[in-house]
Amino acid sequence: MTIAFTGATGQFGAHVAEALLARTDASNLVALARDPQKAADLAEKGIEVRAFDYDQPDTLADALAGVDRLLLISGNAIGQRVPQHKAVIDAAEAAGVGFLAYTSFLHTDTAEIIAVAPEHQETEKLLADTSDSLGVALLRNGWYTENYKDTVTQAVATGTLLSSAGDGRVSTATRADLAAAAATVLTAEHPAPGTYELAGDSSFTLGELAAAITEVSGTRVELSEVTGEQHAAILTEAGLPEGLVGFLVSTDAAIAAGELEDPAPGTLSELIGRPTTPLADSLADWLK
């Protein structure tokens, strides 16, 4: 059994490599990277590293030769991901890969506001059209807890957490927990196709996040609740680029609409065999 994973040199890919090594021998693994030299640390651990450049689609099927199971970690080039993902999916079918797991987004089929959803929706459609010989698992990952790391650091420095999310809740999960779930699915004796909604056991409002930061850091952090328009104006005045302002404000709008909350969590903790990492643990790690 040979398991390959894309994005091997990325943040999530690093966690995936660690999680897979905890479950299977390195000789069973193939790390796929645009620049294999940047994956030298994985090669040192005994993992085979192969060049895998989304922008050279004609080379991808050969890179997947002998691969039985593939983890397609969604790319980070927003606006280019659908054609990149299609190239990988086509290559997987051409190479005879039997099982493909894709890191999608939590409840992406019903999401209408969050900026990352459309490309995941299109990729899921591509996967739905694959042949029956390719088993597909949609790993719908919740919002990374780590996405709040810079926000938390800034909140401690300023004493303020800016939000236009209202009482909306976020079901985050750490990259390590989500990577462990992916590794569990990929290394199962009989990998199960299907849709996995993967989120932390507990959700929180941004007001609760401010309170948690206060408790862990010992520095009082107040929630500053504003409208979306006010939020955009404040971020623009602070010098953030227009695209980032739009992304941050639309993310809070998505939170307010309930798009980042999992109303029925438990799949992630069941897969990894333990409770998901609490928010307080992540805060303590960042603020130590």
131-144 pLDDT tens trace? 889 999 999 999 99
Residue pLDDT, tens place only, 18-42: 999 999 999 999 999 999 999 999 9
pLDDT of residue 52: 98
Looking at the fold, whether 20 and 62 belong to one and the same domain comes out as yes
Any alpha helices (H) in the chain, and if so which ranges? 11-21, 40-44, 60-63, 81-95, 117-128, 149-158, 175-187, 206-217, 228-237, 242-256, 267-272, 279-287
Report the CATH number that the domain containing residue 242 is assigned in CATH: 3.90.25.10
Q: Which helix (H) or strand (E) holds 30?
A: strand 29-33
Q: What is the mean pLDDT of residues 220-234?
A: 97
pLDDT of residue 152: 98
Identity (one letter) of the amino acid at 13? G
Looking at the fold, whether 61 and 151 belong to one and the same domain comes out as no
Residue pLDDT, tens place only, 112-132: 999 999 999 999 999 999 988
pLDDT surpasses 90 at 288: no
What's the token pair of residue 234? 């404040």
Looking at the fold, whether 132 and 163 belong to one and the same domain comes out as no
Looking at the fold, whether 194 and 206 belong to one and the same domain comes out as no
What's the token pair of residue 150? 């810079």
- Domain extent at residue 124: 3-143+174-198
